[in-house]
Amino acid sequence: MTLDVAIVGASGYTGGELLRLLLGHPDVRVAKVTSNQFAGDRVASVHPNLRKLTDLKFTQHESVESADVLFNCSPHGAAMDKMETYLKRAAKVIDLSADFRLRDPAVYERWYSSKHRAAPLLSEAVYGIPELHREAIRGARLVATAGCIATSAIVALYPLFKEGLARGNEVLVDSKVGSSASGRSSEPGSHHPERSGVVRPYAPAGHRHQAEIEQELSMRAPARVHFTAHAIELVRGISTTSHVFLAKSLDEKEIWKVYRAHYGEEPFVRIVKERSGLYRLPEPKLLAGTNYVDVGFARDPHSERLVVVSALDNLVKGSGGQAVQCMNLMHGLDETTALTFPGLHPS
């Protein structure tokens, strides 16, 4: 089986990373890559890391007439007006924007300050974290991949909330985010002299990914999430530190068993907790270019506080890689196909 794939909005960082992965996928033929801005230009002129790997040229968005899989990498707000058309032109659609991640239109309106213009499709879209929704993804025709920061927090915290171990169903989350998460378009905050060397709390409260975290952790009761995001000098990567106060006293061995029970068989979740060394807890530097999310923890000996640390590459497991993982599941392929790059050390 060879899948004909189209990528809408392929000129951004997310589209380029998705294209990098799909060009190495043995069951995929990339048929169309679109960019209204760069229509007619060779892909390698925008994504120079793909030189000699493809002769594709960008086309206009409307040039996609049919595909087995359509990946939407357009900015937030663009997909909802086109999704009905995409679902007619492609058997399966994977949306990498934020347009279909939230199931409740009222929640969407509260966080995005506008009504959703394709609200009936929100209930159909499957939230694209395979570790949580694998079986639903297999049967979906529309998958909305999770936000990069949201993925780092949700995967790290899911076992605790699933088992009712977070006191008050509450958590404090702090994420340090690399500059590529802001996308290709420049703005004052991404200008190198302003970004270099910073640890800037760009969203001390009110970050939209909080809504996704709350949605996915509200299994037993509504989750109470207190979230802050910092911009740091790193280009790729997210490091998320979460503080949970345990509902019952557990030692580190018991906490380890909880995580092993949920993630022991997961191909892309690694539980990282070493007794010594530089990398005894998750570190995003080791994950650049990979589809892994590393999760570790430390138990505060003076209280019931559990510090959970997670790391991932925002462009792979936080975006393009997770989308490919979903595509593999949707078509009965080995889930790990084209996603087994182990990372570099040193890098």
Contact 67, 89 (CB under 8 A): yes
By CB atoms closer than 10 A (0-12, 13-18, 19+), residue 113 is exposed
Rounded to whole angstroms, the Cα distance separating 214 from 110 reads 13
The torsion angles phi and psi of 296, rounded to 5 degrees, stand at -140, 180
The strands making up 199-203's β-sheet, listed across from edge to edge, are 199-203, 224-232, 170-177, 238-245, 305-312, 293-299, 269-271
Would you call the peptide bond into 267 cis, given omega within 30 degrees of 0 as the criterion? no
- Burial class, 40, CB count within 10 angstroms (exposed 0-12 / middle 13-18 / buried 19+): exposed
Backbone angles phi, psi at 199, to 5 degrees: -130, 85
Strand ranges across the sheet with 142-145? 28-34, 3-8, 67-72, 90-95, 142-145, 126-128
Residues carrying an active site annotation: 148
How close are the terminal C-alpha atoms of the chain, in Å? 36
Q: Quote the crossing angle between the two packed helices 13-23 and 321-330, to the nearest 10°.
A: 50
Instruction: Please tell me what DSSP assigns to residue 317.
Output: I
